[in-house]
Structure 1
Amino acid sequence: MGKKKSSVPVETASPRRQLSPFGANDMLAPFSRLRDEFDRMFDDRPGNALASRWMQKFYDNVDPLVELRDKKDEYELVAEVPGMGSDDIEIKLSDSMLRISGEKTETHEEDGESFMFSERQYGSFERLIKLPNGIDDKKISADVKDGLLIVHIPKSPEAIQKERKIPIRAS
């Protein structure tokens, strides 16, 4: 018995890349190469000087993250200040504006040590926060512990007495 030949044509894989009828792949090739160059330029691998400078500029402009909480008798402002102590931070109040400023200094290397890379933030910052009306500015106090600055801003007795709950009607 002999073998029958198949009548179904078999396609062979072409080593050439198939292009669309409009040559779209060719038109986009320069943009693809440009994107690859930008990706390479800003690649954040250790030792990439340009990326390190770019990332440092980004981090230098970051202020501490803050929360302002309304508690029953006071407002509480919490700011993230990792690695900083009370000597590194200054707080001032002027015209209902609370100014928090500080500086985190870089630690110096020991002999024989060098950084491979560092993601830690160093430098100075200043943050202005508009405080609500009705505070007792003579009794404001602050503590720093475990990387958090906590500013206690007592409400004035008048502000506490004026506060009332507004009823909501169902429609």
Structure 2
Amino acid sequence: MNINIDLGNIWEALSAVGTIGAVIVSLWLARKDGKKKFQVVLKTSFGIRYDNSIDERPYLSIDAINKSNIPLTIEEVGFINKKDGKKVTVTDQRFLIEGSNQLPTKTEPYSLAMFVFNQEQLFKELHKKWSQGEKVRAYVRDSSGKHHFSKHYKV
């Protein structure tokens, strides 16, 4: 008995592999575009007054940049110590200075929401929970419940 298996033309096989690869890449790109993503940046800054003089008081700002193609709503802003899991949530506007975004705030695609704090007042509040020099991260929570974190910052 002689069994002969015909695998077909090599070009047809390569065409089938290419088609499957194209479908996989297109599905991956479609899924990637729908992801909710914020970039969270925590930084110290100084204010500029209306007369263009520099305000010497330091401010701490959380910049939340919506890097997705859909509008996202920020519902919560705060600070967390990943080591012990404790967090301080900014639930009211008393820590935020005038000009900051209000909570909750809707951010359009590729736009920025900025939350600015008086650094001295905020550090007093954070030192009630953590010791001085502790590394914490800023976070924002979107309407789906996902948390987005900044890099570490010493308080």
TM-score normalised to the size of structure 2?
0.35
Higher strand share: 2
TM-score normalised to the size of structure 1?
0.33
Q: Which has the higher contact order (CA 8 A, sep 6+)?
A: 2
Q: Which has the larger radius of gyration?
A: 1
